[in-house]
């Protein structure tokens, strides 16, 4: 990692003051829609923030991000001196069939630049970009003295808040930090309490997904006085093996280790964890910054609908550059205008009332598949999937001219929608709700439930 930095003394601040960059991209109204957010008291022109990671490692990157239009950044995690020492290589990926990166793995640690340089740069960047959110990620040993030392230094920079890195899954847990703290509710509460004691601005607790129940960590953070939580941090992973040399990637010499997994592949896991906190009776109003696989405006909208008040992006920016935020802001604002949402708050948590436990779903609801013969290209993928792995509810017919035709056997269809998922033609297969004449019935009250009385 480059250690390039700016001299932030008063005699040499040109690098921050419009040379070579000019301030831009800070408008909160896009396509007539107000994208501004007030997240736990932290204001930003839009909800798109860069997560604490290599893209926020230094002032050079952060200024470029602000110029591109990002509403905020979480500065890469600061720690004690001497700074961390990183290895080479650090990244690996899980690829799709077409070569696209589905998941991204890293074994990089917190900042390997000095605390002094980081603090100088944070101070100057916040001074020059007062309209943007600037949060500082921190990770120090799990004792009050370490936090009491670094927090006043961070507060003096003028940054808007801090994010406690309690989730790093590699390198730092071996030192009693990162996920070693985030997996222990008592330590989460204790560290959060120390931060609220020694720091006057908003405290965001970043939670690890490498835990049985994400709600436990969020509840502990709230007990400690957290102003908000952010999630998810990366997931323990090994992405691939070099079968010639029998070593995982990334490879350091002839060895490797598990790393932190992120990217689009983790989005479903992250959204579930965000939703679990948002609908937990113990944390119904706790502000959430959503992280995990966000690369488009639609991803962001989905996280917000499940409870996020801001969203953080890392992998998508690393793969595509900072300019992706332009499409994110444009797409989100256009969708909001179409739906009549005049602010982010207007649709935040909108999907939570419809998100419930399986036992509360309607057992009597029925839907069956319908194939649009005009759109069908006769590929047979629906038939193969249903015949081999599902309920044998699609018939393969042959027309007089020899053409194939696939039809749903309605009395056999259970509405699993596997055929719809495998179909390559949009809207060719739809799921049609059926009138059953039966009332709503949840598993809680179903006579077939042997635990009905207990539930």
Strands 241-242 and 247-248, bridge-based pairing: antiparallel
Q: pLDDT for 224-283, tens place per residue?
A: 999 999 999 988 889 999 999 999 898 888 888 888 888 899 999 999 999 999 999 999
What letter would DSSP give residue 444?
G
Domain 29-354: CATH superfamily is Aldolase class I (3.20.20.70)
Question: Domain spans of the chain?
Answer: 29-354, 358-445
Q: Which two tokens stand for residue 48?
A: 């798109």
Q: pLDDT for 100-139, tens place per residue?
A: 999 888 878 798 999 999 999 999 999 999 999 999 999 9
User: For residue 386, what are the contacts with CB-CB under 8 A and spacing of at least 6?
Assistant: 392, 393, 394, 418, 419
* Mean pLDDT of the region 191-202: 97
Q: Which two tokens stand for residue 328?
A: 């994110």
Residue 1 has pLDDT above 70, yes or no: no
For the chain, percent of residues with pLDDT exceeding 90: 75
* Mean pLDDT of the region 383-389: 97
User: For residue 448, what are the contacts with CB-CB under 8 A and spacing of at least 6?
Assistant: none
Res 24: pLDDT = 65
Residue 21 has pLDDT above 90, yes or no: no
Looking at 129-282, list the stretches that DSSP marks H as alpha helix, in order from N- to C-terminal side.
Answer: 144-155, 179-182, 185-198, 214-223, 267-278
195 is catalytic: no
* Mean pLDDT of the region 410-431: 97
Give the helix/strand (H/E) hosting 320: helix 315-320
Alpha-carbon torsion, ordered 294, 297, 303, 308, to 10 deg: 100
Q: What is the mean pLDDT of the chain?
A: 90
Buried b (16+ CB within 10 A) or exposed e, 368-395: bbbbeeeebeeeeebbebbeeebeebbe
What letter would DSSP give residue 252?
B
Instruction: Provide the 10 A C-beta neighbour count for residue 411.
Output: 7
Which residue is catalytic, options 168, 376, 423, 428? 168
Looking at 360-403, list the stretches that DSSP marks H as alpha helix, in order from N- to C-terminal side.
Answer: 381-389
Q: Which two tokens stand for residue 81?
A: 């001196």
Q: pLDDT for 159-193, tens place per residue?
A: 999 999 986 655 455 556 556 787 899 999 999 99
Q: Which two tokens stand for residue 251?
A: 């490879």
168 Ramachandran zone, left/alpha/beta (phi>0; psi -120 to 50): beta
CATH 3.40.50.300 fits 358-445, yes or no: no
Whether residue 414 contacts residue 393, with contact meaning beta carbons closer than 8 Å, is answered with yes
Distance CA 356, CA 354 (A): 6
229 bridge partner residues: 205, 288
* Mean pLDDT of the region 414-433: 97
pLDDT bracket for residue 10 (50, 70, 90): very low
């Amino acid at each position: 990692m480059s250690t390039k930095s700016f001299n932030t003394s008063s005699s040499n601040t040109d690098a921050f003051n419009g040379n070579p960059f000019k301030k831009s991209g800070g408008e909160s109204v896009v396509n007539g829609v107000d994208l501004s957010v007030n997240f736990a008291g932290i204001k930003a022109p839009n909800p798109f923030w860069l997560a604490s990671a290599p893209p926020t490692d230094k002032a050079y990157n952060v200024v470029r991000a602000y110029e591109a239009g990002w509403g905020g950044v979480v500065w890469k995690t600061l720690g004690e001196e001497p700074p961390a020492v990183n290895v080479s290589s650090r990244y690996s990926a899980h690829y799709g069939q077409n070569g696209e990166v589905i998941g991204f793995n890293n074994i990089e640690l917190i900042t390997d630049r000095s605390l002094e340089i980081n603090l100088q740069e944070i101070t100057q960047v916040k001074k020059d970009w007062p309209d943007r959110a600037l949060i500082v990620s921190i990770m120090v040993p799990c004792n009050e003295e370490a936090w009491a030392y670094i927090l006043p230094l961070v507060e003096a920079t003028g940054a808007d808040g801090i994010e406690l890195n309690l989730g790093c899954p590699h390198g730092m847990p071996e030192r009693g930090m990162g996920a070693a703290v985030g997996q222990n509710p008592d330590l989460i509460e204790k560290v959060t309490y120390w931060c609220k004691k020694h720091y006057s601005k908003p405290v965001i607790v970043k939670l690890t997904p490498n835990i049985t129940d994400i709600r436990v960590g969020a509840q502990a953070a709230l007990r400690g006085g957290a102003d908000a939580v952010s999630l998810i941090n990366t997931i323990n992973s090994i992405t691939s093996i070099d079968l010639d040399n029998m070593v995982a990637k990334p490879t350091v010499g002839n060895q490797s280790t598990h790393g932190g997994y992120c990217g689009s592949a983790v989005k479903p896991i992250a959204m579930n964890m965000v939703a679990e906190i948002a609908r937990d009776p113990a944390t119904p109003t706790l502000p959430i910054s959503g992280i995990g696989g966000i690369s488009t405006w639609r991803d962001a909208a989905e996280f917000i609908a499940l409870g996020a008040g801001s969203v953080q992006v890392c992998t998508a920016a690393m793969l595509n550059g900072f300019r992706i935020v332009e499409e994110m802001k444009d797409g989100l604002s256009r969708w909001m205008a179409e739906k009549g949402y005049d602010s982010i708050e207007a649709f935040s948590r909108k999907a939570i009332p419809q998100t419930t436990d399986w036992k509360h779903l309607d057992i009597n609801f029925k839907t069956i598949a319908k194939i649009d013969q005009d759109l069908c290209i006769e590929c047979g993928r629906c038939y193969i999937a249903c015949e081999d792995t599902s309920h044998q509810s699609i018939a393969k017919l042959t027309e007089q001219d020899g053409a194939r035709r696939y039809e749903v056997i309605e009395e056999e269809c259970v509405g699993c929608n596997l055929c719809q998922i495998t179909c390559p033609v949009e809207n060719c297969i739809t799921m049609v709700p059926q009138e059953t004449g039966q009332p709503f019935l949840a598993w809680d009250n179903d006579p077939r439930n042997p635990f009905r009385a207990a539930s």
